[in-house]
Structure 1
Amino acid sequence: MARRRYLIIFLMFVVIFINYMDRVNFAVSIPAIRQEFGFDLHQIGKIAFVWGLAYGVFNFPGGWIADRLGLRWGMVVALGWWSVFTIATPFAGSLAGWYAVRALMGAGEAPIWPYNAKTANSWAAPSERSTAYTWAGSGQYVGPAVGSLLAGWIVVRFGWQWSFILFGAAGLLVLPFWIVIVRDRPEQDRRLSAGEREIIGNRSTASESADWAGIRAVFFSRTGVGMLLIYLTFGYVLFTFLYWVPSYMFYTFHMSILKSAVWSSLGSVLGFAGFFLSGPFNDYLVRHFDRLTARRIGAALPMAIAACCVVLSLLTARSGAGQMTAILLGLVQLAMNTTVGAWAVSIIDISPNQASTGFVYGIFNGVLNVMGAFNSIILTSLASTYGFPLAFGSALAFMAVFLVSILFIIDRASYTSLVERAQHARASIPAAPR
């Protein structure tokens, strides 16, 4: 039997892979950029903040745009936009130019995760939802793992400018493949077999519109408040360990740019493993526990392990053990990403209907990324005053709020009500003609 849905999910992985390659080259190039432009660490933090703020803010309309334009042409617009501004980055000749180009790049990248949520919702069977979401989303870590090494080599061999130009060009090369292969929904793809369409089980959303009453029910429930706190706190944790490890290694242990990139890529590899395992792990939990219990186990247990690794990294950094610190920071990324298949996929579970998935996910993901933007300001301020080890240690406070939210704020009554409402809406949509 054909597995066309896996091809769609794989192509989503490729897009996310390219997207995160386009981001990591800035972190790897920071020492070279500072040397050429004379930026201090605070100014670097502000450049990262402007990108992150634009990325976070445009998640809010980005999810709605994803619902309106659909997977096929909406992604073409987004991928083409951010690739062009990635290529334009080396031509920003002043601090104001850096702010403008990075903000425009961030705005184009904003819908990437709403699109991943829509891909999992539309193209994966319900029993495969966590796996589809996290396997595609694991490009978030494969991209930096490959990108850190490749960008480090390009910076040393050809200059930092070429890492932006070549990475942006890679995004443009993906566009024709996306146009040819991807359709918004299974019923629009004539190449999809009847057997696979039955496995996916999704119904036509051609006549479906956003359920605004259901959307309000999501955000004004205890579950909605708890999920907002989870996204808020995970945003700080994610951006800390995803983007700032190269600077941690360079400035704390005085490693070279290339060596810093190599050790930071270890975290990307382990983060990928956590992301990749998260989907099957959480789909397994859902098969053996009720849905809320499964989501709590899948989120809380790995995050508690991540917090322990942060504490240990403070001790190894204090003793000057750079390599052991890098390993522990990598283990943090392994553990924290194992949580994603639990809390991130819960948004798909509680979205009132398929036509609302991008909008609802965009709001939650916008909160995550706005906090990620402020992470740049907070982290660079802490690092300038106290050093990178203690700056990274600030993630512990956010991990604690994450754990309280998933275990105590989200309640069974509102969570179950939202899930049942979403299931009823999907079941009530008439099947598409074959």
Structure 2
Amino acid sequence: MTTVNQSIKPAQTAAPKASKARVLIAVMLFVTVVINYMDRANLSIAVPSITQEFSLSPAEQGLLLSAFGWTYAALQLPGGWLVDRVRPQVLYASCLILWSLATVFMGMAGGFVALIVLRLLVGGFEAPAYPINNKVATSWFPERERATAIAFYTSGQFIGLALLTPVLSWLQTVLSWHWVFIVTGAVGILWGIFWYFTYRAPKQMKLANEAEIELIRNGGGLVDLENTSTEKRKFSWSDARTVLSKRKLWGIYLGQFCLTSTLWFFLTWFPTYLVSYRGMDYIKSGFLASLPFIAALIGVLISGLVSDWMVRRGKSLGVARKSPIIIGLLLSTAMIGANFTDNTALVIMFMSIAFFGNGLASITWSLVSALAPQRLIGLTGGMFNFIGNLSSIATPIAIGLLVSKTSFAPAFVYMTVITILGVLSYVLLVGKVERVTE
């Protein structure tokens, strides 16, 4: 009898259930992205009022709107190098507080030059943000959950803007454009402090048990990434050559430039288009400008869920990751329809379809996770974000030069051509999705 009891006793001992600490990490990334994009888009809300106060031409508006992109793009590679060396707990908290301080001071700026300089600082301090996001996601999420996690935190850029655009427009109307920057900057400073005291790597997070760590590791998550990548190694040009010499990586670099061109149109010129070319007031334009962001939010959530569902159903990573991106880019060409109607409802419909497509395509960071050499995830992410966010410079300036005081049509032609080039990049250059070897 004793023998029988001893034989069944081990079977009665249940394996420990995996904790859900990675859910908290996903929420923290989501909130950080909301703040990140709030501080990118606040200028687009304020720029019509700034234009009136400082008498800016369309070209000057384009220069001001592009200032973020100059330093943001230029510092992607140094930012990616830092991501490979400095723990996300420290680096992200520092960046959050510094770019938020620059944002607060924008609300106190008394001239065009001061705004340009401070906007350059915001772009520079935000440069490491998305490579950090990608590093955290690669550390914390198994492959079958990663696209959903990336889609969830990426949705922060859309849901934050959808909800906050009307609020910030109202704040500007009630107080002034200065308070748009002061309030958004203060929120970022508080969140940077919270991040520093809360975020930890998987093995250092007390809320994550061994079962969860094993679940992440066995599913392809790199739970030791933050520990191994903080070695004090010098920058190597051979590493740079590696991430610049692979056709697959160039496919996602160029595709990201084309994808983010649409995003930067909505982050910079879209509110001005509604106010100056469609004759709307600030409150109405704030509400209507939020509708495409809601559509983009729906698109990005669908994209992540469907992509991971396809992975679980046995589809290749290439099919599961690239299909939503290519379909989304094709839908983004719908904005050209705005050139053929004067009906405001139809214009908003075309913009919403286009931005839904942009959201659907916004799981591109999942390809960085899948393709980047393991040792160079930060540098690859930096290169990906550098080339992709050259659009943050090109789009505002190109539109400022193409449009006239009475016609915005050339801008939509430009955006459509760029988007089609993005489709060709993913179809012809990326090929089979598999990790690049050094």
Same fold (TM over 0.5): yes
Maintained 8 Å contact 1:56/1:365: yes
Of the three residues 306, 320, 323, the one matched with 2:345 is 323
CA apart distance, 1:197: 1.2
Maintained 8 Å contact 2:38/2:184: yes
- Structure 2 gaps, min length 5: 1-17
Of the three residues 368, 372, 376, the one matched with 1:356 is 376
The farther-off stretch of 251-260 and 276-285 is 276-285
SS in 1 for 2:208: coil
Maintained 8 Å contact 2:373/2:435: no
The farther-off stretch of 332-341 and 238-247 is 238-247
Maintained 8 Å contact 1:215/1:352: no
Tell me which residue corresponds to 1:397.
417
The farther-off stretch of 128-137 and 201-210 is 201-210
Partner letter of residue 203 of structure 2? E
Measure the CA separation in 2 of the matches of 1:228 and 1:18: 25
Deviations 1:120-152 (A, max 9, x none): 101111111111112111111122112211111
The answer to whether structure 1 residue 102 and structure 2 residue 112 are counterparts is: no
Tell me which residue corresponds to 1:263.
288
Of the three residues 327, 330, 348, the one matched with 1:304 is 330
- Cα gap change, 1:150/1:385 in structure 2, threshold over 3 Å: closer, same or farther? closer
Tell me which residue corresponds to 2:316.
290
The farther-off stretch of 156-165 and 46-55 is 46-55
Structure with more of its chain in helix, by fraction? 1
Deviations 1:59-117 (A, max 9, x none): 22112112211210001110001100000002222222111111011111111111111
Measure the CA separation in 1 of the matches of 2:161 and 2:399: 20
Measure the CA separation in 2 of the matches of 1:399 and 1:386: 25
Measure the CA separation in 2 of the matches of 1:280 and 1:272: 13
Measure the CA separation in 2 of the matches of 1:132 and 1:277: 12
Deviations 1:310-364 (A, max 9, x none): 2333222xxx1112211220121111221122x33111111111x5212210111
CA apart distance, 1:243: 2.8
CA apart distance, 1:385: 6.5
Tell me which residue corresponds to 1:338.
360
Maintained 8 Å contact 1:240/1:392: no
The answer to whether structure 1 residue 125 and structure 2 residue 147 are counterparts is: no
Maintained 8 Å contact 1:131/1:283: yes
Tell me which residue corresponds to 2:204.
188
SS in 2 for 1:416: coil
Maintained 8 Å contact 2:370/2:435: no
The answer to whether structure 1 residue 173 and structure 2 residue 199 are counterparts is: no
SS in 2 for 1:384: coil
CA apart distance, 1:36: 1.4
Tell me which residue corresponds to 2:3.
none
Measure the CA separation in 2 of the matches of 1:159 and 1:386: 27
Deviations 1:370-404 (A, max 9, x none): 22212111011112267223312311111111111
Tell me which residue corresponds to 2:23.
6
Identity %: 26
Measure the CA separation in 2 of the matches of 1:417 and 1:90: 45
Tell me which residue corresponds to 2:14.
none
- Cα gap change, 1:15/1:207 in structure 2, threshold over 3 Å: closer, same or farther? closer
Partner letter of residue 367 of structure 2? S
- Structure 1 gaps, min length 5: 423-434
Maintained 8 Å contact 2:243/2:383: no
The answer to whether structure 1 residue 34 and structure 2 residue 55 are counterparts is: no
Maintained 8 Å contact 2:249/2:371: no
Tell me which residue corresponds to 1:199.
215
Maintained 8 Å contact 1:218/1:350: no
CA apart distance, 1:159: 0.9
SS in 1 for 2:78: helix
Tell me which residue corresponds to 1:382.
402
Measure the CA separation in 2 of the matches of 1:290 and 1:386: 49
Tell me which residue corresponds to 2:70.
53
Partner letter of residue 242 of structure 1? L
SS in 2 for 1:272: helix
Maintained 8 Å contact 2:216/2:223: no
Partner letter of residue 321 of structure 1? N
SS in 2 for 1:68: coil
Deviations 1:128-185 (A, max 9, x none): 11111121111111221122111110111011111110111011111232122201x2
Instruction: Give aligned pairs, total.
Output: 411
Maintained 8 Å contact 1:25/1:147: no
The farther-off stretch of 76-85 and 130-139 is 130-139
Question: Computing the radius of gyration over CA atoms, which structure comes out larger, 1 or 2?
Answer: 2
SS in 1 for 2:224: coil
CA apart distance, 1:16: 0.9
The answer to whether structure 1 residue 277 and structure 2 residue 321 are counterparts is: no
Maintained 8 Å contact 1:8/1:181: no
Q: What TM-score results when the alignment is normalised by the length of structure 1?
A: 0.89
Maintained 8 Å contact 1:275/1:340: yes
Measure the CA separation in 1 of the matches of 2:143 and 2:320: 15
The answer to whether structure 1 residue 245 and structure 2 residue 270 are counterparts is: yes
SS in 1 for 2:385: helix
Maintained 8 Å contact 2:40/2:267: no
Measure the CA separation in 2 of the matches of 1:131 and 1:386: 43
Tell me which residue corresponds to 1:406.
426
Measure the CA separation in 2 of the matches of 1:147 and 1:56: 25
CA apart distance, 1:218: 4.2
Tell me which residue corresponds to 1:416.
434
